[in-house]
């Protein structure tokens, strides 16, 4: 399984602001979008282009062009929505699905409450969005739902990942590629990523 961690001074700089508990909602949202955009560029390195002929102001030429209709973004609600604007800026014609999940505060297991994806999802490359890959439970459920619809190629984009979540995906879905801005140390007893950045959904939407 491929795990790609962004290693760049500017990403570390942005993460330093994102992690800071004093960072406000507006700045937090902006940074989530910016980092998501970079992650999307990285995850598209293997994209296949179709040769088309265009005419520049100087001459005609052949050049590669992406068929954006072949892609779909699927944010895991609600925190995944914070990443959507960033990736849509990269592939504006990609379709968008939604998977609604929340974590049971007693069992720490994900509970599914909503699932809607575009028609023909099985023909598209699907990129799942969730800022935090913690236990991996929500990610596994999302991947299972998409595979049940016939999706063959899935990538998972997150801002922060815990080793435990990566290992769980690797064990159950080794064909899924993970792209993250940083791999953190571990999960604490409450299954939060350490050092992490807190509850991404609450910080994106200002609910705490």
Annotation says 103 is catalytic:
yes
Give the active site residue among 130, 202, 203, 207. Answer: 202
The answer to whether residue 107 is catalytic is yes
Q: Pick the catalytic residue from 107, 124, 130, 175.
A: 107
> Which of 23, 130, 199, 207 is labelled catalytic?
199
Helix (H, G, I), strand (E, B), or coil: what is residue 16? helix
Main-chain phi, psi angles of 73, to 5 degrees? -100, 135
Identify whether 78 is a catalytic site residue. Answer: no
Crossing angle of helices 9-19/25-43, nearest 10°? Answer: 150
Which of 23, 29, 78, 103 is catalytic? The answer is 103
Burial 103-129 (b: 16+ CB within 10 A, else e): beeeeeebeeeebebbeebeebbbbbb
Catalytically active residues are 103, 107, 199, 202
């Amino acid at each position: 399984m491929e795990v790609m961690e962004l290693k760049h001074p500017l990403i570390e700089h942005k993460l330093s602001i994102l992690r800071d508990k004093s960072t406000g909602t507006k700045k937090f949202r902006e940074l989530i979008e910016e980092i998501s955009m970079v992650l999307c560029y990285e995850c598209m390195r293997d994209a296949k282009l179709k040769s088309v002929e265009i005419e520049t102001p100087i001459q005609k030429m052949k050049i590669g062009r992406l068929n954006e209709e072949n892609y779909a973004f699927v944010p895991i609600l609600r925190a995944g929505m914070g990443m959507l604007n960033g990736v849509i800026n990269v592939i504006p014609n990609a379709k968008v699905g939604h998977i609604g999940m929340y974590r049971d505060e007693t069992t720490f297991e994900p509970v599914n409450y909503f699932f809607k994806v575009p028609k023909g999802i099985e023909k598209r490359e699907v990129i799942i969005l969730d800022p935090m890959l913690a236990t991996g439970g929500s990610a596994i459920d999302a991947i299972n739902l998409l595979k049940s619809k016939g999706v063959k190629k899935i990538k998972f984009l997150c801002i922060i990942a815990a080793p435990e979540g990566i290992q769980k995906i690797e064990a159950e879905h080794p064909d899924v590629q993970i792209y993250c801005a940083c791999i953190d140390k571990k999960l604490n007893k409450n299954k939060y990523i350490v050092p992490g950045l807190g509850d991404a959904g609450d910080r994106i939407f200002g609910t705490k």
